[in-house]
Amino acid sequence: MVMDMDLDALDRGILRILQEDGRMSYSEMARRLGVPESTIRLRVKKLKERGVIRKFAALMSEESGLFCRIVKSHKIWHFCFS
């Protein structure tokens, strides 16, 4: 399990941006965070290796008709149906 103290300000900035827009380019993230693009690439790679980022996924809207949410025991599972 990764603790907050293991994440520095840059890691938290990357995660915040990815949560807002998971498709943002590394170059745009670098511009917004004021660091080289290579730094963003390396940090994202390390966040994935450490399990902080498990995967990138598209979240369907409820209006699409492909979205279902199940809440059980304080966990939320999202399922998409085609």
pLDDT band at 6, cuts 50/70/90? confident
Task: Look at the pTM and tell me if it is higher than 0.85.
Answer: no
E-only strand ranges, the chain: 67-72, 75-80
* pLDDT tens figures, 15-64: 999 988 888 999 999 999 999 999 999 999 999 999 999 888 776 666 66
Range of the domain at 13: 4-80
What's the structural domain count of the chain? 1
CATH of the domain at 20: 1.10.10.10
The DSSP secondary-structure symbol of 35 reads: S
Half-sphere exposure of 23 (CA within 13 A, CB side): 3
